[in-house]
Structure 1
């Protein structure tokens, strides 16, 4: 039977990391890479992990790649510190035989996301590429979300089990949508859009936020969650607006700097100013 390693990166996980690691006790190996926690995370991690070590922060994708490289097994499941593997998903993974694993490079799993203590209907099923063969998959170049791709099309399968993503408590939901975390994520996403040559036209700041609301509230049936569903859809639209507004700001700032008629130096931090101002 093929052995599977569960890999996690951690930092000040508080009360979240213990249920996460407990849900992975079925694995043949647990590897945790911590980037300098100052709370009880290291003590908890060492209780559950076969291998626990410190590594200075490299960035989301690079840190996970480093952690995966430390696993003893080629088949790896990436688990975030604020997630739990459901018993159904754990049973499905353990039931995978060598024949199935030889025909696949990657398995997608569903993730149920929570905000303010309740599941978000509009964010389901949120497929994640978490179980994969590290020697047969390539990592996508993404600023925020780490993703992997199989060696060739057709070597991906989907599991019906799911992850429980409980990160958003009341305070966490507020901080994520209003404070520093939101601004930081937006900044990185917008910089990647700009670096890839993405442009924001005047109509983008109208069309994309509206489409985001319609998808969340109507197509994903967020309206069934009442006021809570409306709040989520409204936030999706607002975040989408900020992304395109910041992209518009940075591309016009650069355009102004390149103009021969503009003798005044201008800041190159428009995207930071746009996202910070909106988030504060």
Structure 2
């Protein structure tokens, strides 16, 4: 079975080589859809043999569906530039290419913080469909939290091995994500959902307790604490911004 690997990028020169090199043992082609990077992303990808297409970013769901549509082969493996295949996952995909017993495949994603793999705080197993027959499924979702959704009746198997994700290097990157995602959440849900200050407090407290205690973030020391606080901050700010957006709407209607 021929396999196309697809990646969407924007200023990914620090990680794109590692991502592409991990794909070479299993991909029959590598397609990069770049959102007009201002660094060396396109040059590095091209030098490694990837076919690079430029397209303005239109949201993660739309951009990833566009990338899958550029593939020559119907069997598609989609990665972000800050991800790469572990040796065990590479072996699983190689075996799957020889048989292809299902329409889509999930595998676990192992997220890292500061170079440390984190299996607590709800960060693992983080199982996702990233390998599938594009005739049987596509990316769906809002501006963020996009997922591959398979058609009814499609068969999905799970593959051994981890997809390595090394985006978060420091607390600043966690904070940046909190701000970005909370802005988008408030934008998407303003006028659709209501929230109170009391509910914000309860949801924020529960998010920290669940991450740090129930999901054993305390066992990961400093990293577990920072991630748990970040998870709680994400809840706090997305609902705070939603509440403020709804208040602004009500004022404008008066």
TM-score, with structure 1 as normaliser: 0.83
Select the structure of larger CA radius of gyration.
1
Paired with 1:55 and 1:91, the residues of 2 have a C-alpha distance of 32
CA contact (8 A) 1:31 1:49 kept: no
In 2: Cα distance, 1:214 partner to 1:3 partner: 46
How far does the alpha carbon of each residue in 1:158-192 deviate from its partner, in whole angstroms, 9 at most, with x for none?
2221111112223xx41441x4x542322112222
1:194 and 2:194 correspond: no
Higher relative contact order (CA 8 A, sep 6+): 2
In the TM superposition, what is the alpha-carbon distance from 1:200 to its structure 2 partner?
1.2
Compare the two structures and name the one with the higher strand fraction: 2
Q: Aligned to 1:96, what secondary structure does the other structure show?
A: helix
Name the residue aligned to 1:155: 155
Q: CA RMSD in A?
A: 1.9
Match of 1:213 in 2: 208
Take 2:234 and 2:142, find their aligned partners in 1: how far apart are those partners? 18
User: Do the aligned partners of residues 50 and 39 (structure 1) sit closer, same or farther apart at CA in structure 2, a change above 3 Å counting?
Assistant: closer
Q: Aligned residue for 1:68?
A: 68
Q: Does residue 16 of structure 1 match 2:15?
A: yes
Give the unaligned 5+ runs of structure 2: none
Alignment check: 8 A CA contact 1:60 1:144 kept? yes
Matched, 1:255 2:250: yes
Q: CA separation of 1:78/1:113 partners in 2, compared to 1, >3 Å: closer, same or farther? A: same
Which residue of the partner structure matches residue 243 of structure 1? Answer: 238
Q: Is there any run of 5+ residues in structure 1 with no aligned partner, and where?
A: 260-280
Runs (4 or more) in structure 1 with deviation over 6 Å come to none
Match of 1:5 in 2: 4
Cα deviation 1:142-171 (Å, max 9, x = unaligned): 22122111111662222221111112223x
TM-score, normalised with respect to structure 2: 0.91
1:119 shift after superposition: 1.9
Match of 2:111 in 1: 113
Aligned residues: 251
